[in-house]
Chain A
Amino acid sequence: MNTATNSPARNTKVMNRFDITSRLVAKLKHGEAVIGGIGNTNFDLWAAGHRPQNFYMLGSMGLGFPIALGVALAQPQRRVFGLEGDGSLLMQMGCLATIATLKPKNLTMIVMDNGVYQITGAQPTPAAAVADIVAIAAASGLSNSVWAADEEDFERLVDQSLSATGPTLIGVRIDDKPGVGATRRDPVQIRERFMLGLGVREAL
């Protein structure tokens, strides 16, 4: 968890994952795709209200942004949001440079950073006390990377990303609360519903 003793000085508010996710989902009116990373990130996406354009990861930690990139490349007219935890992103930081190179302007990445592996017992990540994920993203070539100062700022940054000329990464400092829902663990249904939601499939 983010405390004064274990992380550098920040002027960003510590927010809540479910609240932030709900604020994002409330904004989605145009069939935007949302990829929810492993664990609490997709549990809160599920709890914020299931939509057929949501994809929930039940494994493959760290691949939230790569999967979102694939969707964004395949459907450049559709806005794609990737939601990841800080621990997940630490596992796959190379993807930030890949995304920066490809520059998909329809991709918005949101990193929920609580500095801990909440779901395994809230152990701190190796980065918690020393690394700045938004700075890492910027140094990876994602120049449009920024910390959300508070909830209002988060909403403003999401709106701004919709008309950005390149990909956006928004860091959100969150508390150490667990997710409030639990995604149904049915990968085939999740994938099929998502494909229906993206207009790739007809219902059986």
Chain B
Amino acid sequence: MTAAEAQTALQPSQEKSWHEMALQALKRNDIRLVPYVPDRILTTLIRNIHADPFFTTFPTAREEEAVGIVAGAWMAGMRGAVLMQTSGFATLANVLASLAVPYQIPLIMFVTERGTLGEFNYGQALVCSTMRPVLDSLAMEHHTCTRLDEFEFILDRSIKQAITTQAPVALILSPLLTGGKVFDK
């Protein structure tokens, strides 16, 4: 074991980054298919998922396209999750209400949250304000993840609940968890 490996091995779990936790939770729960529309915040997670042959991962042109893909894959026996940002979620009301919810498909969504805690684009803030009302109007499970020490618990429990109850879940990744995106000009 090299010194670097020893150091990694000795790191307590709470020192893992959020994106390492997310990747490992996907693997633990056998979620192999990960289509996404990217966000700056998701860069490292997306890169690491691409680098891991466990996953089938690729970009889609729209978020609802990715939702259709994971819905089809789940019905055919392969678990998936979709990665997107807030403004992508805002395009999904139709597919959630007409596919994921009524067909009882355990759609797992990771949504990086723009529009709050330091947003610099008013439009993003307004888009963000539509997200939770849409989720609530469909009685969809959703959690806003803000703390590293809670993150693994929320991930594992939410993924298991989605699959066993055949109901979608949105995991909203707050800037409190990820650092968010800030205007640095």
CA distance A184 to B98 in the complex (A): 15
Whole-angstrom distance between the Cβ of B137 and the nearest chain A Cβ: 16
Q: For the side of the interface on B, what is the size category?
A: 20 to 34
* Closest A residue, CB atoms, query B102: A187
| B65 at the A interface (CB under 8 A) | yes
Query: With A58-B102, A70-B33 given, is the CB distance from A92 to B62 under 8 Å?
Result: yes
CB-CB under 8 A from B61, the residues of chain A are 92-95, 97-98
Whole-angstrom distance between the Cβ of B140 and the nearest chain A Cβ: 16
| B104 at the A interface (CB under 8 A) | yes
Whole-angstrom distance between the Cβ of B79 and the nearest chain A Cβ: 9
B80 touches A70 (CB 8 A): yes
| A160 at the B interface (CB under 8 A) | no
| A66 at the B interface (CB under 8 A) | yes
CA distance A125 to B70 in the complex (A): 29
* Closest B residue, CB atoms, query A96: B61
- Other-chain contact of B72, A58, A67, A97, A101 (Cβ < 8 Å): A67
| B46 at the A interface (CB under 8 A) | no
B94 touches A195 (CB 8 A): no
| B81 at the A interface (CB under 8 A) | no
* Closest B residue, CB atoms, query A194: B75
CA distance A60 to B71 in the complex (A): 11
Q: How many A-B residue pairs have CB under 8 A?
A: 123
CB-CB under 8 A from A187, the residues of chain B are 102-104
- Other-chain contact of B73, A71, A92, A188 (Cβ < 8 Å): A71
B75 touches A195 (CB 8 A): yes
Whole-angstrom distance between the Cβ of B138 and the nearest chain A Cβ: 13
Whole-angstrom distance between the Cβ of A52 and the nearest chain B Cβ: 12
- Other-chain contact of B65, A35, A94, A188, A199 (Cβ < 8 Å): A94
In chain A, residues 47-77, which have Cβ atoms closer than 8 Å to a Cβ of chain B?
A: 55, 57-63, 65-75
* Closest A residue, CB atoms, query B96: A60
The interface on chain A, measured as residues whose beta carbon lies within 8 A of the other chain's beta carbons, has a size of 39
CA distance A200 to B94 in the complex (A): 27
A95 touches B77 (CB 8 A): no
CA distance A73 to B67 in the complex (A): 14
CB-CB under 8 A from B69, the residues of chain A are 66-67, 69-70, 73, 98
Query: With A58-B98, A63-B65 given, is the CB distance from A74 to B103 under 8 Å?
Result: no
| B60 at the A interface (CB under 8 A) | yes
A74 touches B72 (CB 8 A): yes
| B48 at the A interface (CB under 8 A) | no
B68 touches A63 (CB 8 A): yes
Query: With A60-B64, A70-B68 given, is the CB distance from A190 to B103 under 8 Å?
Result: yes
B56 touches A60 (CB 8 A): no
- Other-chain contact of B68, A60, A195, A198 (Cβ < 8 Å): A60
22 contacts between A and B (CB under 8 A): A58-B102, A60-B64, A63-B65, A63-B67, A63-B99, A66-B65, A66-B66, A69-B68, A70-B69, A70-B73, A71-B73, A73-B56, A74-B76, A92-B62, A95-B60, A98-B35, A98-B58, A98-B65, A187-B104, A191-B105, A195-B76, A198-B75
